[in-house]
Chain A
Amino acid sequence: MPKIPLFYGLLILLLSLSVSFPAAAADKENCLMCHKYRQLGRIDEKGRKISYFVSENIYNKTVHRNVPCRDCHTYITKLPHDPVTEEVNCSNECHIKPPFSQENFSHKKIVEAYNKSVHGIKSDDPPDVKQAKPYCKYCHQNPLFMKVDEKYIAGKTLLRCLNCHEREGVTKAYTHITHRLGHKTSRSPQEVVQLCSKNCHENVEMMKKFKVSKNTLEAVETYNESIHGKAVALGSEEAADCLSCHATHLIHDVQKKDDPESTINPKNLIRTCKQCHTKVNKHFIQIDVHSNVEKNLLLHMINIGLTFALYGTFIGLVGLMLFETYGRKKDGIKWMLKKGTTWRGLSRRIPKD
């Protein structure tokens, strides 16, 4: 066995001691001792499966990985703890100080915007309405850090940072910032539409609980029929999704149309449309984005006419070809692809002289 000099031995020892454990850092109180096991859970009194499992490998890669468990789950005061009945309050302060700030981090600002918005739970809401409104967790899963290809996104810019800063720290900070900068939201338009529609706005029976207008009830349907909806459905990253028009950069401040702060209030529409469209004037904003052609008899008739014209042409053409084919076969003309043509021979109906 080769002898390792004492200096290298010490170096190896030091390096092995300095290996960091990111999960352990946030989990000072060892909550994962139990919660890292996937079968930790139960079937509750209503027969629903409730899981208490937190994957340590995934939690390490989330934006909350440095937040100690009890900063969010403040109601846990002893170990082993009582069955949990309280919800996490996202406007709590946690023991993390963001860079350039002396104050503890909190989502207070966003929660305030959310509380004011139509989605916020109001004290005079009936219980079933309270239940049906989306709380933070409904739309947000503990976001994962996305692995960004350094070369692709950072390239030479990042190389310049590395002249002064350490590689790991800068790369992390850079990816943290850049993955949020592409669009108004970090989700794709398709994801936003899916999130707003599924289980909520497309569920007409549930939306009736909120006593919303007929336009709102039909919103998902009319959006999907609109030019924005079709572009998004076909994969556009630029076309407007729900949040592009219904919220400001705060994202959570979705308001009713009558609210003067609302982005879709007629007074604010010019500003809202201008986010994408350059030439916006008072006539432009009168275009009905969630238009329902059936509301207007004339439009409805034109729509039916155009539909007939489109399918009539297509079906007519295909039908003509089918009749022609049938007729030729009946007349004894042969179908011969091999010789370089589809039809051969003369019709029986043509006199042979």
Chain B
Amino acid sequence: MPGEPKRLEHPKTVYFVGFIFGLITLAVVTGVAYHLSFSPHGPAVLRPLKAKFEKEKKSAILDEVRQHEEFEKHRHFHHSVSYQQLPEQKRPVCYICHSDYPHGKNKKVRALLNMHTQFFVCETCHLEQQEGQAVTYKWYNPLNDDPKGPFFGTSYDPATGNLIEGDDPFSKISPYIHAGGKMESAIQRQDAPLALDYIKVKDTLTPEQRDNVKKKFHVSIKAKGHECKTCHSKGGILNFKQLGFAENRAIDLEQLNIAGMITKYEKFYIPNLFQ
């Protein structure tokens, strides 16, 4: 085209230099934008907007729970460790109402009873066994049909003497019922949507209605669990060795390490619990 200045192809280094300068420009632009909008060192013009948006989404209860979790970390002093959690929809139905810390009444034993939720599902202790029904106990993992272990707490680390953690944080000992040559899980899994619905409408129900629903949930569930001795004794209902516990660990569980601990509990603390 006449009049158009003649331009030559630039050498490749020019593109490279151009690219570097492009990057620098981009970094400066991003920096200035951040400085202007949110940075704690700049005018932060967008911060009030963000705060307003967050305020709308805020929940007072959630804030309080989070703040307490933060304080609990400081109160505890012995490092709090966070462990992997089961996804909400995979948790056994009981946890919807009762949480991971279901026991709260008996001051002396509530924490000790809660400790057991790490090892077995609620039904292992609270299953109302029908007459003539044979119950077997196996490891159950909601994410894995056939968990093989090693499971937490089944053996000691010979180097430190501490319990071996294993790779399976979710398996728990769970009851199975023999029915017509087949083994059927005794865990109540089917009512999760109903339980969630109950949580929503709980406050609008009359006490009688609430009782009705609760009965519906707690089919073949007894309020009082087993006594310590049912499992922590020789020939208890849990066959520790069959469940994969190491021999020395099984013996410790049968005798519970300190002689007389169980008797002490039965005499002083448990009587009220099992009346």
A residues neighboring B (CB under 8 Å) = 19, 21-24, 30, 33-34, 36-43, 48-60, 62, 79-80, 82-83, 88, 137-142, 144, 199, 224-225, 229-230, 233, 307, 311, 314, 318, 339-341, 344-346, 352
Are A55 and B81 in contact (CB-based, < 8 A)?
yes
| B142 at interface, CB cutoff 8 A | no
Beyond A48-B68, A51-B72, A55-B81, whether A40 also contacts B36 by CB under 8 A is: no
When chains A and B are docked, how far (Å) is the Cα of A41 from the Cα of B10? 72
Give min CB distance, B45 to chain A, whole Å. 10
In the A-B complex, the 9 residue pairs with the closest CB atoms: A39-B118, A340-B10, A40-B115, A21-B161, A54-B78, A37-B115, A56-B162, A340-B9, A138-B74
Which of B9, B76, B163, B258 is close to A30, meaning CB atoms less than 8 Å apart?
Answer: B258
When chains A and B are docked, how far (Å) is the Cα of A158 from the Cα of B43? 51
When chains A and B are docked, how far (Å) is the Cα of A318 from the Cα of B69? 47
Are B41 and A57 in contact (CB-based, < 8 A)?
no
Query: A82: which B residues are within 8 A, CB to CB?
Result: 108
Query: A48: which B residues are within 8 A, CB to CB?
Result: 68, 72
When chains A and B are docked, how far (Å) is the Cα of A230 from the Cα of B9? 46
| B257 at interface, CB cutoff 8 A | yes
Chain B residues touching A, majority SS: loop
Count of chain B residues with a beta carbon within 8 Å of a chain A beta carbon: 59
Closest to B99 in A: A43
Give min CB distance, B85 to chain A, whole Å. 12
Give min CB distance, B35 to chain A, whole Å. 9
Are B116 and A340 in contact (CB-based, < 8 A)?
no
B residues neighboring A (CB under 8 Å) = 1, 3-4, 7-10, 14, 29, 32, 36, 40-41, 43, 67-81, 83, 99-101, 103-104, 107-108, 110-112, 114-118, 153, 158-163, 165, 257-258, 261, 264-265, 269
Are B101 and A49 in contact (CB-based, < 8 A)?
yes
Which of A40, A53, A58, A314 is close to B112, meaning CB atoms less than 8 Å apart?
Answer: A40
Are A55 and B100 in contact (CB-based, < 8 A)?
no
Query: B43: which A residues are within 8 A, CB to CB?
Result: 307
17 A–B contacts, CB within 8 A, in A order: A21-B161, A37-B153, A38-B83, A39-B116, A39-B117, A41-B115, A49-B69, A49-B101, A51-B80, A53-B78, A62-B79, A80-B269, A142-B78, A230-B41, A233-B41, A318-B29, A344-B7
Give min CB distance, B217 to chain A, whole Å. 20
Query: A19: which B residues are within 8 A, CB to CB?
Result: 158-159
When chains A and B are docked, how far (Å) is the Cα of A32 from the Cα of B110? 17
When chains A and B are docked, how far (Å) is the Cα of A139 from the Cα of B163? 30
When chains A and B are docked, how far (Å) is the Cα of A83 from the Cα of B108? 7
When chains A and B are docked, how far (Å) is the Cα of A30 from the Cα of B252? 13
Are B75 and A137 in contact (CB-based, < 8 A)?
yes
Query: B99: which A residues are within 8 A, CB to CB?
Result: 43
Closest to B15 in A: A340
Are B115 and A23 in contact (CB-based, < 8 A)?
no
When chains A and B are docked, how far (Å) is the Cα of A33 from the Cα of B79? 18
Query: B8: which A residues are within 8 A, CB to CB?
Result: 340
Beyond A80-B264, A80-B265, A346-B3, whether A50 also contacts B162 by CB under 8 A is: no
Are B161 and A233 in contact (CB-based, < 8 A)?
no
Closest to B165 in A: A57
